[in-house]
Structure 1
Amino acid sequence: MAYECFDVSIEDQIAHIRLSRPEKRNAMSPSFWADLPEIVRDIDDNAKARVIVISADTTGERPIFSAGIDVSMFSSGGVSGNDKNNPQHGAVFYQNVLRLQDSFTALENCRIPVIVAIHGGCIGGGVDLITACDMRYGTSDAYITIYEINVGMTADVGTFPRILNHMPEGVVRELAYTGRRMDAEECEQRGLFNATYESDEAMMEAVMATARQIASKPPLAIYGCKRIITYARDHSTADTLDQIGVWNMSMLIPSEMMEAMMAKGQKRAGTFADLPKVARD
């Protein structure tokens, strides 16, 4: 299927979602917000892959992973609604923001890991996107900007509740209040980026190697790890200990444990069942 903002390919159990509007600095047009969750849920629900990698076509004079929300969405009413004199304007705005938030929450809620590879600038809504992923890798010329303050806005699509899980509160406040750029080296030092690389080619080689390693593991156990890590982030230690006990009581598969141990001992790839397909209403 063809998409305005994405190229999608699946190979060796790895789904690669590539932002594909370099001429528009990979800005997030209305179709972006509808298509991204649809793509992610299709991959996840139909067990089409065991890992998702997100990157961007950054051809051009200056590499830009994403410039954030396409400004046309503001003039068209795609974010705020068209009529500010309408007494329901606030309610329309709120519903639109929830819709945009859901597009990135789909990355967090899907059962498989999502890795994002960031080349160049990651601005505004781009930061919302990368913070919803499981792991972030960048090139040495990558940078992030919580840009919304520079246009008189408060970032509202997901940056704040997620970036605080990766960087100290004081640093987040500085970025939010000033709108300054944080370069790749500092992103790695602060814990936002897992690693940085000198070139896009080197980054993608490393990211795909990590994706292949994840794809070789038992999918249900990977799903359990993702679910419990996210649960632990939002709950107490005591609640999480109980949750992991209930999870393994319900989901642990002894035959897959045996296969994993045998495969390791025999120095071969393991053979594991894919996740079950999901039927949505």
Structure 2
Amino acid sequence: MSHSCFDVQIDKKIAHIILNRPEKRNSMIPAFWRELPEIVRDIDENAKARVIVLSSTGPHFSSGLDVSSFQQAEITDPAAKRAARITAGADFYGIIKNMQQSFTALEECRLPVLAAIQGGCIGGGVDLITACDMRYATEDAFITIFETNIAMTADVGTFPRLSKLIPDGIARELAYTGRRMAAAEAREVGLVNRVYKSHAEMLAGVMEIAAEIASKAPLAVMGCKRMMNYARDHSVADGLDYIGIWNASMLQREEIFEAMQANAEKRPGNFVELPPIRKHI
């Protein structure tokens, strides 16, 4: 399947989703918002991989939303113009909800998603990476909540997620000022896990981490992601209760014994894959 905004490669149980419009700084055109959740859900629902790596091409990870591609033709009919004016808020709200869901698909995916960031990660790019499980960057990388600089408020996912990833005061400073946060600072505050000298070194390092994740029991990794997302949004008591219920129903002793045996024999574990997601009975 071909896409206009992405290349997709799957090898050794790792799905690599690559933003492929470097000449446009990987700006997010309408096709981007349709294709990303379709790709992620296809990989997840059909159990095509155990982990996803999201990377980009060219000097910048993403310049964010391509505002020009969302411009509409001028309406000349008075009745149609009145209707458009009255429903503008509701129409815009629907657009935003759909865009938000494109990134929420990364969070809801059963698989860990690792973001590899080079150059600028601007505006919507920040919304994108905060929906991933882990973030890695090159030394020249930077993030900026650019919407503030053009009199907008970021609305596709940055604020609900960023303050859960870094100290609230730092998140507010980035939001209120629209300043750039360099990779070194992002590493210091915990937004990115590691910083690499070059794009090639970063991809090699991230793929190594992805391979380590892919070597683990898929059901256990899925459980980790599910529990950590739940714990982030609930109390400690609720989180403890949920993990108890989860393991009571999902813990597989056969996989535990296989992991122990594989470790003892110094071989890869022979684990059962996640089942495809059934949409219909």
TM-score bracket, normalised by the shorter chain, equals over 0.9
Q: How many residues are paired up?
A: 273
Please give the alpha-carbon distance, in whole angstroms, between the structure 1 residues aligned to 2:90 and 2:279: 27
Structure 1 residue 73: Cα displacement? 3.2
Alignment correspondent of 2:67: 71
User: SS state of the match for residue 4, structure 1?
Assistant: coil
Q: 1:76 to 1:9 in 2, by over 3 A?
A: farther
- Corresponding residue of 1:7: 7
Q: Which amino acid aligns with 1:96?
A: I
Distance 2:118 2:263 in 1: 35
* 2:192 alignment partner, SS class: coil
The 3 A distance-change label for structure 1 pair 83 and 149 is: farther
* 2:208 aligned partner: 209
For 1:24 and 1:201, the matched residues in 2 are separated by 21
How does the TM-score come out when normalised to structure 2?
A: 0.95
Match of 1:55?
Answer: 55
The TM-score with structure 1 as length reference comes to 0.95
* 1:72, distance to aligned residue in structure 2 (A): 2.2
Displacement after TM superposition at 1:83 (Å) = 6.0
Amino acid at match of 2:209: T
Report Cα offsets for 1:233-275 as digits up to 9, x if no partner.
0000000000000000010010000000000010000000110
Matches within 5 A, 1:59-208: 63-76=59-72, 85-208=84-207
- Secondary structure of the equivalent of 2:140? coil
Tell me which moved more, 83-92 or 243-252.
83-92
Mark the structure with the bigger radius of gyration: 2
Q: Secondary structure at the match of 1:136?
A: strand
**Percent identity, aligned pairs only?**
59
Name stretches of at least 5 consecutive residues in structure 2 with no aligned partner.
74-79
8 A contact 1:83–1:89 mirrored in 2 = no
* Cα-to-partner distance string for 1:65-113 (whole Å, 9 max, x where unaligned): 0000112233138xxxx96852111000001000000000000000000
The amino acid that maps onto 2:65 is I
Structure 1 outlier segments of 4+, above 3 Å: 82-85
Structure 1 gap segments, 5+ residues each = none
**Root-mean-square deviation over aligned CA pairs:** 1.3
Moved more, 36-45 or 271-280: 271-280
**Secondary structure of the corresponding residue to residue 85 of structure 2:** coil
Per-residue deviation, 1:166: 1.4
Checking the alignment, whether the CA contact within 8 Å between 2:30 and 2:70 is kept in structure 1 is: no
- The Cα offsets for residues 10-34 of structure 1, whole Å up to 9 and x where unpaired, read as 0000000000000100000100000
